[in-house]
Amino acid sequence: MNYKPFTDQEVIKYVYDNTNIFENINLLSCEEIGDGNLNLVFRIRDKKNKKSVIVKQALDYLRVAGDNWPLTRQRVKFESECLKIENDLTNGMCPKIYKYDTNMCCIVMEDLVDYEIMRKGLISGKKYNHFANNLSTFLSEVLFKTSDIFMNPVEKKKLMMNFINPELCKITEDLVFTDPYYDSESNNVNPELRDYLENYFWKNNELITNVEIMKEKFMTHSQSLIHGDLHTGSIFINDKDLKIFDAEFAFYGPSSFDIGAVIANLLLNYISWGGKDVSKEFRNDFRNYLKNSIIELWNLFEFKFKKLWDEKANKYYKSKEFRDIYVENLFHDSIGFSSCKMMRRCVGLAHVEDIDEIRDLKKRANVQKLVLKIGEFLIINRNDIESIEKLMSIIEELTSKYEII
């Protein structure tokens, strides 16, 4: 079967013909539910017993940019293989993969009907008290067990070869580390923010130098198999557990990139509340929840990662002094990557709903400017921040100093 984007009826027939999940094609319905930038996403459901699956098909262009941004459709291979590995390492913390088709460039996977997208929950002010514990487990298990600290070095290099993902990495290199720092045509700029960008942000050489340092680390530090796009929009969650999905940006990169990406998106939500019509009591309470979640996430990750190191590191890495240096570097680099991920969501092509749902452009610009000021301070001073508690203290201080409500 030659590749073509599925229609509703075609994807129903495809799933029925190519899997043994459903018994009667006449009972199947299809709904196109995708809201991302890269793919078609369908839910196929049996109208009688309510059984359902998700079909994700890669398009050959970036939806947000149209035909002007062509992409390889084979990126779904990286997602399928990454999710299988991560599922094995974390005892099922990703959706099950039922089928991967190289010709149709699609994945048939588990439908997580009892979960919601974490970003949408946070925007509505919902708290997930298990989040830090569960995500720290996911991060520590995957980042440790796909690194040289744990793996046989030859086997690790063979696995790296399976995740050479140049086109998706190029998107990150451009949209996270390059375009937001000059007046690029790809940027999506709030007109109320432009004066600040032109007169200060794009002229800040110290900022740009530090972004380039982080870009070089992203491109050269092949530490672990990373998700590559791990944010609150790629986490399915409920009141008990969570599942990680959307791993098409997967490659062997810096372990701290995934950690920083998650922290960045929690901080974007934290800062966004200054532009929304909520009570001071609610804003302070939810920000306190987010602050504690970030602190708990890092501290639990550090504890679990070091425990794995002490118990399972290969014979070449037994020094606790090196272990501590390694983790300290992860922490500082996580701050640097977090800064880049925050800033690009205010200037670059793809923003976040947390902030863009603020309809008043002046209020939105005030929030975006605060994000940029915090991002700038953190990336320049990342190596001087000695703890996650200090990081959050700085966030609180800068928010208090610069926030306009």
Q: pLDDT of 41-90, one tens digit each?
A: 999 999 999 999 999 999 987 766 666 677 888 899 999 999 999 999 99
Query: Over the stretch 380-389, which tens digit does the pLDDT of each residue have?
Result: 999 999 999 9
Rounded to 5°, the CA angle 232-238-241 comes to 90
Would you say residue 101 has pLDDT above 80?
yes
What ranges in 201-319 are assigned the alpha helix state H? Answer: 205-220, 255-272, 280-312
Specify the amino acid at residue 114.
D
Q: Give the model's pLDDT for residue 358.
A: 99
Integer Cα distance of 75 and 340 in angstroms: 24
Q: What is the pLDDT of residue 35?
A: 72
pLDDT for residue 64: 62
Amino acid 34: pLDDT: 83
CB atoms < 10 A from the CB of 214, how many? 25
Hunting for tokens 């399928």 — which residue is that? 80
Q: What is the mean pLDDT of residues 21-27?
A: 97
- Asked if residue 267 has pLDDT above 90, the reply is yes
| The residue type at 139 | L
Q: How far apart are the C-alpha atoms of 211 and 304, rounded to whole Å?
A: 29
Section 10-31 average pLDDT: 98
Query: Residues 186-212: pLDDT tens digits?
Result: 999 999 999 999 999 999 999 999 999
Mean pLDDT of the chain: 97
The reported pLDDT for the residue numbered 228 is 99
Supply the pTM of this predicted model: 0.96
What's the sign of the alpha-carbon dihedral 321, 387, 126, 55? negative
Region 20-40: mean pLDDT is 91
Contact present, 25 and 17 (Cβ < 8 Å) = no
Given a cut of 70, is residue 378 above it in pLDDT? yes
Q: For 50-75, what is the HEC assignment? A: CCEEEEEEECCEECCCEEEEECCCCH
List, in order, residues 6 or more apart from 350 with CB less than 8 Å away: 37, 64, 175, 188, 344
Beta bridge partners of 186: none
Residue 244 pairs in a beta bridge with 235
Around 114, how many Cα atoms within 13 Å sit in the side-chain half-sphere? 7
